[in-house]
Amino acid sequence: MKFAIRHEIKNRIRIHLLTKRLTFQEADTLEYYLRSFAEVSAVRVYERTADAAICFTCDRSRMIEIVRDFSFEDTQVPDRVFESSGRELAAKYYDKLVTAVILHYGKRFFLPFYIRRILDIFNMFRFILRGLKTLKNRKLQVELLDGAAITAAVLTGDYNTASSVMFLLKIGDTLEEWTHKRSVDDLARRMSLNVDQVWLCTDSGEVLTGSSQIVCGDRIVVRMGNVIPFDGEVVSGEAMVNQSSMTGEPVAVHKACGTAVFAGTVVEDGDLTIRVTRAGGCGRYDRIVKMIEESEKLKSSLESKAERLADRLVPYTLLAAGLTWAISRNVTKAVSVLMVDYSCALKMAMPLSVLSAIREASEYGITVKGGKFLEAVADADTIIFDKTGTITKAQPTVVRVVSFCDETEDELLRQAACLEEHFPHSVARAVVDHASEKGLLHEELHTNVEYLVAHGIVSKIDGERVIIGSYHFIFEDEHTVIPDDKKEQFDALPDEYSHLYFAKNGKIAACILIEDPMRKETREVVALLRKQGFEHIVMMTGDSEKTAARIAAEAGITEFYAEVLPEDKAKYVEKAKAEGHHVIMVGDGINDSPALSAADAGIAISDGAEIARQIADITIGSDSLYSIVILKKISTLLMKRIRFNYRTIVSFNTALIALGIAGVMPPATSAMLHNGSTVALGLKSMTDLMPDKRKEDRSGQKKEAIYESGL
């Protein structure tokens, strides 16, 4: 590709493609291409000027080579990238704002007064109708005040004031709508489907296949804990499917042969064979946007309270205007009161504050599904951590396999990997990855596999019943026997590792030793969370008491519980809430789902099971627990901003009303100050809560003031 370099500094370059402008699709294609390289830390493409600003971590020559190799024709972009792009939306609202400003000031300079007056009267009726609609719904809302104020201004011959009020209201509505849609779209993009591989049914069995290769009519298998990647119809199997991401239903729905399933929903229990009816997750993004926009979860209690107060104040404003006219017989003073209301600012600033905070959190790799959950984090005094994949690293590794039978360690590992590859858990991935590293092919050896949450897997290999899982499952539930000549070897298993047991026909066959080291930042994060006001920091795990005690001590956590089941975690959450505590649960696995649902705010680690991410209220995209500290800070600052906005709006507008009643301030000035302050407060509410902080991308790597540099 031919291009020119417009500007460059160390590790940042701005290029210009040799064309006047780019289409939205071309801009998205270029941005997708550049982001696909690990060397590119951030990029922004400007379609209007055909420019691209790129931050990179490699040599300049390598960056030039990457750009030079780009071609629109050769770059394959998934449909979901175009489907969820916010580029066209931003251009649409930018044009609306620019057009509104040009028309407003252009007509003042180029149109005669009498034509402007006719236009103002015509536009006035639109606001009157909006106000009358609220009466039709038996509600007194801000639209009624707007209509009354504009009408009063026109009737008194103050057309400039009426025109200015209508212009400012239009600008305010456009800004609010733009920010709302942008924030919703950002959230929807992060919730959109991103499944790379699926199990495809073929004549030779199940084959792990890239999702991009799936076409309508293919049959795929989705097992417990996994996301359904395509719309389709169930052809065999039964399962309980969580559809909350699509429909908002909190209860899982039973699915069986002949029923329809939707992309993005999650199998909670059971497994399904699905015939794909719509490939590529078509329509999922639009459905997510609709679900978010209709969801009351977007509103925090403070936000809802402010909006209810805004509507309750409308009758009092009307009453104040009526009394002012009745007492003073001065229409100008009465109009001054109508020109000022609390509702407009309250209804604009509060949602913008919340949605802007959600957007800011997303810049740190944190996806928040609604303002309600930011408020829950701000108020929380208790935080519960799952151990595996949360306190410890998301990528545990297999140290070695200890055989308790005649089969070799490699053969036992191969069989274990064959079972584990079907299920989404960090320990399962560790087993599969270790087998791959050793070059062990583990094609399908078994019959149907059954996964028992927080216990293990049951299946058959060559007619033998095989089970793999925790000590509790293998020995207490399944009563697996340890041969007498192997007991000494079994007792000598090292305690510093987590143990995954593999048994055949009721006898122990192997123990897979898993190294699950603690995250390096955990201890510091725990200390920071205590400083932020968390009174109770708890760790819960299904591991043994010894392993749990060691990890808790290293992390600086004094309260921990070992050998717990999923229902135990949920019961602890419910108990803490009953005692008056505000609880956050942090986890990554299928077994954390009940507790994530029960908590005031459930936080899922993005590398964990899909069902955990779907059920959770908040998802952390970076591989760092520092994100929780950042989330708490954003949440606390958001609550402070909402309270500040509330006090500012009430005090400032009360002062304007008082000055209007006293006759000190004419209606035009009141309208200008009221609407100007509303827009200013709205714009302020859209700014970052942590503007001076360096932000992180999804991998947790530091970005050196990228956002301050304009990217």
Look at residue 509 in the predicted model and tell me its pLDDT: 93
Can you give the pLDDT at residue 246?
55
> DSSP assignment, residue 475?
I
Cα 343 from Cα 443, distance rounded (Å): 65
Q: What is the pLDDT of residue 383?
A: 96
Q: Are 322 and 337 in contact (CB under 8 A)?
A: no
pLDDT tens track for 189-243:
655 555 667 888 887 777 878 777 788 889 998 887 777 888 889 998 888 887 7
**Cα dihedral sign, 345-348-351-357:** negative
- Collect all residues with Cβ–Cβ distance below 8 Å to 459 and sequence separation of at least 6: 419, 446, 447, 448, 449, 450, 465, 466
The one-letter code for the residue type at 504 is: K
Q: Specify the pLDDT at position 323.
A: 86
CA 597 to chain centre: 16
- pLDDT on residue 511: 94
Q: What is the pLDDT of residue 707?
A: 30
**Helices 331-338/667-685 angle, 10° precision:** 10
Of 132, 162, 128, 129, nearest in space to 147 by CA: 128
Asked if residue 222 lies in contact with residue 228, where contact means CB atoms within 8 angstroms, the answer is yes
Q: Is 700 left (phi over 0), alpha (psi -120 to 50) or beta?
A: left
Residue 38 tokens, joined: 């690990």
**Other Cβ atoms closer than 10 A to 485:** 8
Structural domains in the chain plus CATH codes: 3-77 (3.30.1360.10), 197-291 (2.70.150.10), 397-515 (3.40.1110.10)
Is 2 in contact with 67 (CB distance < 8 Å)?
Answer: no
Q: What's the confidence (pLDDT) of residue 537? A: 95
Residue 464 in contact with residue 504, Cβ under 8 Å? Answer: yes
Stretches in the chain below the pLDDT threshold 70: 79-80, 83-84, 137, 139, 172, 176, 179-180, 182-196, 244-251, 279-311, 339, 341, 343-344, 347, 394, 423-425, 442-448, 451-455, 589-590, 607-612, 668, 691-711
In angstroms, the Cα distances linking 302 to 199, 312, 583, 642 are 46, 15, 19, 8
Amino acid at 631: L
Pairing between β-strand 618-620 and β-strand 366-368 as defined by DSSP bridges: antiparallel
The phi-psi region of residue 479 (left if phi > 0; otherwise alpha if psi is between -120 and 50; otherwise beta) is left
Amino acid at position 623, single letter: D
Per-residue pLDDT, 379: 93
Q: What is the pLDDT of residue 600?
A: 92
